Homo-oligomer: A and B are copies of this chain.
Amino acid sequence: MTPAANFLPRDPNFDARCRDSFSRQPFMTHLGASLVELRPGFAEIRLPFAPFVRQQHGYVHGGAIASVLDSAAGYAAFSLMPADATVLTVEYKLNFVNPGEGEAVIARGRVVKSGRTLSVVQADAYARTGGKEVLIATSIQTLMALLGRHDTTSAKT
């Protein structure tokens, strides 16, 4: 399915708001992941293949792939939310289709549906080597906007 191409952000300051939120995630720092691109309804995260993200066969651990897919989907959805909202991941499902090896994992989240409360995001991960990319995982994710609760405050479901 082709996700809707053009979304209008409800918050003109969405870029700074998302990048600030990402920078407050110690877990992304711990993995070495960075938010490399952001557009309304789209986010791309890059995870270099450091030795510490690997599993027992030398490939990148599925949990590391899930982690950057989770954040890519989260910021794709968050980019379209109003300024006074925060975002929660409700659920996701992912399939691993090829082993992760090369230079970096590239995770891309694209909003499929942006509702007032719920957003549906497709997020895919690629293994990049040189200029070449191979799909390693595909996911569908559901995110929730918590309105009236700014992202810099702690949130309870």
Q: A residues bordering B, Cβ < 8 Å?
A: 1, 21-22, 24-31, 51-64, 66-68, 70-71, 86, 88-99, 112-113, 115, 117-118, 120, 122, 124, 135, 138-140, 142, 144, 151-157
Contact = CB atoms under 8 A, between A and B. Distances in A.
In terms of DSSP, what is the predominant structure of the interface of chain A?
mixed
Contacts of A58: 154
Contacts of A139: 140
Given A89-B62, A91-B142, A53 B68 contact: no
Contacts of A51: 26
Contacts of A153: 57
12 contacts: A27-B55, A27-B63, A30-B52, A61-B67, A63-B70, A91-B93, A91-B95, A95-B142, A96-B157, A97-B112, A98-B157, A118-B144
Contact of A140 (B59, B138, B152): B138
A55 B151 CA distance: 11
A70 to B, nearest CB: 5
Contacts of A25: 54-56, 61
